[in-house]
């Protein structure tokens, strides 16, 4: 089963996507992730949207792919006043299975405002061992943040 999520997040905003279950036997993996600005007439945008497995307390544009809590990142840059008005976009996501809530952050270096996001999660049935490992991994990551 595929679950879709979409939303709008302000510059400097943090959204929470509640997907956890009481027993943790349902896991998910990201299969698609996209972002687009709110205002199509904006002259510039430089958005960084990240999806984490643990709660976030600050929002910035720093990208650290070695972070064990970072599941996905989307970077979109559009400067309509430049010679190349086509937006450039980079999207990277991990195929790791998780079973806890997701935390989405957005930083726009141009202060153009908010951003829309869309992502798809593939639902995966976890056995007891897989569920325990996924939950313990998230607990360990929360303590290390």
Which CATH number covers residue 72?
A: 2.60.120
What band does 138 get if pLDDT is binned at 50, 70 and 90? low
Question: In a 3-state reduction of DSSP, which class is residue 82?
Answer: coil
Percent over 70 (pLDDT), the chain = 83
> Whole-number mean pLDDT of the chain?
85
Q: What is the pLDDT of residues 34-92, one digit of tens each?
A: 999 887 666 788 899 999 999 999 998 899 999 989 999 999 987 665 555 566 889 99
Q: What is the pLDDT of residues 6-27, one digit of tens each?
A: 999 999 999 999 998 877 788 9
Residue 37 is predicted with a pLDDT of 86
Residue 113 is predicted with a pLDDT of 82
Q: What value does the mean pLDDT take over residues 97-106? A: 93
Residue of 38 and 5 predicted with greater confidence: 5
List of residues 6+ apart from 14 with CB closer than 8 A: 56, 59, 103, 104, 105
Domains identified in the chain, total number:
1
For 90, the token pair is 């980079």
Instruction: Supply the range of the domain harboring residue 71.
Output: 2-144
Q: Which of 56, 90, 55, 60 is nearest to 72 (CA)?
A: 90
Residue 106 β-bridge partners:
49
Residue 142 is predicted with a pLDDT of 57
Question: What pTM, to 2 d.p., does this model score?
Answer: 0.84
């Amino acid at each position: 089963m595929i679950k879709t999520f979409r939303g709008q997040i302000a510059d400097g905003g943090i959204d929470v996507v509640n997907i956890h279950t009481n027993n943790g036997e349902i896991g998910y993996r990201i299969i698609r992730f996209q972002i687009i600005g709110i205002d199509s007439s904006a002259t510039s945008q430089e958005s960084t949207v990240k999806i984490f497995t643990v709660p976030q307390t600050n929002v910035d544009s720093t990208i650290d792919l070695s972070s064990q809590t970072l599941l996905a990142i989307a970077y979109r840059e559009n400067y309509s006043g430049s010679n190349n008005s086509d937006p450039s976009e980079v999207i990277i996501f991990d195929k790791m299975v998780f079973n806890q809530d997701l935390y989405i952050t957005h930083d726009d270096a141009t202060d153009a405002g908010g951003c829309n996001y869309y992502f798809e999660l593939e639902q995966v049935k976890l056995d007891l061992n897989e569920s325990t490992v996924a939950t313990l991994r998230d607990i360990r990551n929360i303590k290390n943040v």
